[in-house]
Amino acid sequence: MGAQGNLVTQQLDYRHPWPVRIWHWVNAAAVVVLLLTGLLLFDIHPHLYWGEDGHAGIPAFLSLSGTDLDRAVPQTELQIGSRRWDVTGVLGSVIDDGFGGKYLLVVAAPEDWEFGATRGWHFAFAWILALSFLLYGLYILVSGRLAKMLLPMRSDLTLRSIAHEVWQHLRLRRARGQAARNYNLLQKLSYLFVIFVLIPTIVLSGLTMSNAMTAAFPDLFMLFGGRQSARSIHFLAAMLLVLFVFVHVFQVFVAGFFNLMRSMITGRYAVDREDSV
């Protein structure tokens, strides 16, 4: 009488076609450059306003300010709405402008950085992000990948399925077998939010800060409620994208770093398969 058990083997699925892989890595590089250059540009005036006007003397709903910048560790304050926090030594750094003045920066900047060059790099990679987004959007529509991989199925939207996915994520459990062949509900919703909400918002709000674009398309001001509103929405949407990236990278390690990296480089994703023996 033979014993029975489970033998775990692996099957390689072709999960990511080459357009998806190219879009992923182009976007990853663009986001890194945009984040670094964007924070340097934000450092010029680290305050967010709503409406068309925003400058010293107008209340900001988010602000990073400093006093006693001549000290080794300046007094730094973060203000959001009516709440204020002392973030001295935690957030912000001081840079000498070379003309006898000092400024508080959100992040440390290279000593030889230039505003014009930084702005040029930011806009260049913004166009890369925008064009790659348009091409990817056309691809997932024409190829059917949107309906096949990203749109939730009816079975995904049941209370039992939603509760199961949330519980699996809270326990940091990776999907196995047939469940690993498809994105789960939380993945689908987060990817759809990034593709169809965050990236378009970042691109359009960024274009609203361009004088050339708003001269050609003045309705952008109406869409965002003013140049300063667009700047604030641009910054907040970018921070949401950064949050998504952190969660995404964390989940990559939870779900299997080498397997997922291989799938995004070669397209091949290993799925565990249990066969009775």
80 lies in the same domain as 206: no
Which 8-state DSSP code applies to residue 152? P
174 lies in the same domain as 83: no
- The answer to whether 224 touches 230, Cβ cutoff 8 Å, is yes
How confident is the model at residue 3, as a pLDDT? Answer: 45
Q: Which two tokens stand for residue 64?
A: 């990073």
How confident is the model at residue 26, as a pLDDT? Answer: 93
Residue 178 lies in a domain: yes
| pLDDT tens, residue order, the chain (277 aa) | 444 444 456 777 888 899 999 999 999 999 999 999 998 888 888 899 998 888 777 889 998 887 777 776 778 888 999 899 988 877 777 776 666 666 777 777 777 778 888 889 999 999 999 999 999 999 999 999 998 889 998 888 888 888 888 888 888 777 776 667 778 888 899 999 999 999 999 999 999 988 888 888 889 888 998 999 999 999 999 999 999 999 999 988 888 888 888 889 998 888 876 533 3
Residue 1 lies in a domain: no
Give the integer Cα–Cα distance in Å for 73 and 207: 37
32 lies in the same domain as 139: yes
CATH label of the domain that carries residue 24:
1.20.950.20
Q: Which domain holds residue 52?
A: 47-105
Picking from 33, 24, 21, the residue whose alpha carbon sits closest to that of residue 238 is 33
How confident is the model at residue 7, as a pLDDT? Answer: 47
77 lies in the same domain as 117: no
Residue 4 lies in a domain: no
Give the integer Cα–Cα distance in Å for 68 and 104: 10
How confident is the model at residue 18, as a pLDDT? Answer: 92
Which 8-state DSSP code applies to residue 62? E
**Residue ending a domain, choose from 64, 88, 105:** 105
- The answer to whether 66 touches 78, Cβ cutoff 8 Å, is no
83 lies in the same domain as 217: no
Domain count, the chain: 2
